[in-house]
């Protein structure tokens, strides 16, 4: 497996994945808000004193701080789908690069699914291997409290059978002790958090698994995958390449709440990668010819599957998979000023077709989904 990735390649492929899966670069959103009054920065320790943060949570907190400083926040109708990296054109790439994908402002499982798909696509491109997605759920606050109590009972009842340091650790932090036991494979019967999910958390997790299955995203259930930090809740996932974890993510609504005027659901993931440290050039961005707009769950699932086909065929297309409102999707498309709209509603999704609309003439034609990427290239 590749250990070091050229910074230019990383930036180019992150831009590509963001475009096709509907994630806006934070740098672009920052440019759009330039000139607006910025909020006063507050130091992270003061804001986050009630949470315990692991390194990835600290990375996410840094991203959220930038959003807060630049007054970037979701609205009731328009969630934010953002990607961000610590590498920039014209500067040497840091030896340890981070690429993050976030969906803020939507509680639906499609947000988790699109974040997972985007990170999986980027991992596949960078490591030249088929990555493995592993998912679990820690549930909501009620679930986590119930699970922590059950872990405490587990360690007390089996104290004589488990390593002494694990039992000692459990008296301080049952979740930390659980991770230690799993790492040592010292207790195959360790309770799983999914056995204690509340009804709401179970429904949310089932919805995500349905999205992954219907969008043909390979995954495996991971009873041993735990999110210990207090910043995380509900779904957690990791992406492995060559049996090595390259990306990790989860829902983090409690953390996001500290950075926005009102509470917003949020999910995100980060890919950590080593670069060559070379100075980066600015990636070329071709003019978009198509914007793909879709209405309804059936169309959304098809659009997730088609994203990779469009990307591999290099069709100059963008879409906003996580945005539910057709009006908002059309508004975003207008800002990009494509030559064509590719439109799919429930009827088209079930029939296996799309409507291609020429924005200059308003002429429309119906195209089958099969081979759609190649057909669109004829119009590009």
Share of the chain above pLDDT 90, in %: 72
Q: Predicted confidence band at 243 (pLDDT cuts at 50, 70, 90)?
A: confident
6-41: pLDDT as tens digits:
999 999 999 999 999 999 999 988 887 765 555 555
199 Cβ contact partners less than 8 Å away, ≥ 6 residues apart? none
Q: How far is CA 28 from CA 25, 84, 251, 291, in A?
A: 5, 10, 24, 18
pLDDT at residue 17 in the model:
96
pLDDT at residue 43 in the model:
58
Is the pLDDT score of 111 beyond 90? Answer: yes
170-209: pLDDT as tens digits:
999 898 899 898 888 877 789 999 999 999 999 999 999 9
State the average pLDDT for the chain.
91
Helix (H, G, I), strand (E, B) or coil at 11: helix
pLDDT at residue 40 in the model:
58
Q: What is the residue-wise DSSP string for 158-170?
A: TTTTS-HHHHHHH
pLDDT at residue 139 in the model:
94
pLDDT at residue 34 in the model:
65
Residues 341 and 357: beta-carbon distance below 8 Å: yes
287 class by beta-carbon count within 10 Å (0-12 exposed, 13-18 middle, 19+ buried): exposed
Is the pLDDT score of 77 beyond 90? Answer: no
pLDDT at residue 228 in the model:
80
Q: How far apart (Å, rounded) are the C-alpha atoms in residues 22 and 26?
A: 13
pLDDT at residue 22 in the model:
94
Domains of the chain by range and CATH? Answer: 4-138+198-275 (3.30.930.10), 141-194 (no CATH), 290-379 (3.40.50.800)
Q: Where are the alpha helices (DSSP H) in the chain?
A: 7-21, 26-32, 44-47, 55-69, 109-127, 141-157, 164-172, 174-184, 199-214, 253-256, 297-313, 326-336, 346-351, 372-379
322-347: pLDDT as tens digits:
898 899 999 999 999 999 999 999 99
Q: How far apart (Å, rounded) are the C-alpha atoms in residues 166 and 161?
A: 10
How far is CA 332 from its chain centroid?
Answer: 20
């Amino acid at each position: 497996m590749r250990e070091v990735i050229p910074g230019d390649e990383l930036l180019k492929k992150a831009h590509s994945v963001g475009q096709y899966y509907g994630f806006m670069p934070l740098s672009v959103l920052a440019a759009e808000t330039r000139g607006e009054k910025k909020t006063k920065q507050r130091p992270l320790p003061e804001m986050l004193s009630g949470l315990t943060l692991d390194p990835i949570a600290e990375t996410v907190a840094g991203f959220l701080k930038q959003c807060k400083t630049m007054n970037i926040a979701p609205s009731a109708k328009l969630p934010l789908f953002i990607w961000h990296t610590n590498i920039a054109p014209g500067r040497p790439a840091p030896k340890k690069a981070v690429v993050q994908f976030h969906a803020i402002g939507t509680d639906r499982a499609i947000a988790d699914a699109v974040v997972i798909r985007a990170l999986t696509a980027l991992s596949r491109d960078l490591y030249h291997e088929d990555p493995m997605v592993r998912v679990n759920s820690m549930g909501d606050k009620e679930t986590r409290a119930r699970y922590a109590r059950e872990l405490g009972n587990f360690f007390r009842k089996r104290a004589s059978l488990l390593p002494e340091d694990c039992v000692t650790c459990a008296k301080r932090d049952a979740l930390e002790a659980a991770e230690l036991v799993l790492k040592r494979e010292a207790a195959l019967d360790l309770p799983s958090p999914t056995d204690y999910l509340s009804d709401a958390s179970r429904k949310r997790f089932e919805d995500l698994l349905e999205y992954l299955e219907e969008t043909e995203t390979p995954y495996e259930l991971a009873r041993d995958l735990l999110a210990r930090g207090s910043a995380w809740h509900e779904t957690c996932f990791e992406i492995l390449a060559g049996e090595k974890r390259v990306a990790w993510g989860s829902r983090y609504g409690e953390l996001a709440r500290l950075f926005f005027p009102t509470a917003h659901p949020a999910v995100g993931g980060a890919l950590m990668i080593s670069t060559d440290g070379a100075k980066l050039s600015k990636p070329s961005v071709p003019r978009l010819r198509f914007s793909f707009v879709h209405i309804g769950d059936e169309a959304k699932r098809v659009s997730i599957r088609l994203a990779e086909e469009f990307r591999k065929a290099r069709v100059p297309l963008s879409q906003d998979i996580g945005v539910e409102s057709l009006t908002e999707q059309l508004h975003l498309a207008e800002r990009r000023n494509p030559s064509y709209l590719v439109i799919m509603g429930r009827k088209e999704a079930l029939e296996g077709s799309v409507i291609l609309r020429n924005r200059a003439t308003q002429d429309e034609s119906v195209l089958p989904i099969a081979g759609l990427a190649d057909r669109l290239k004829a119009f590009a």
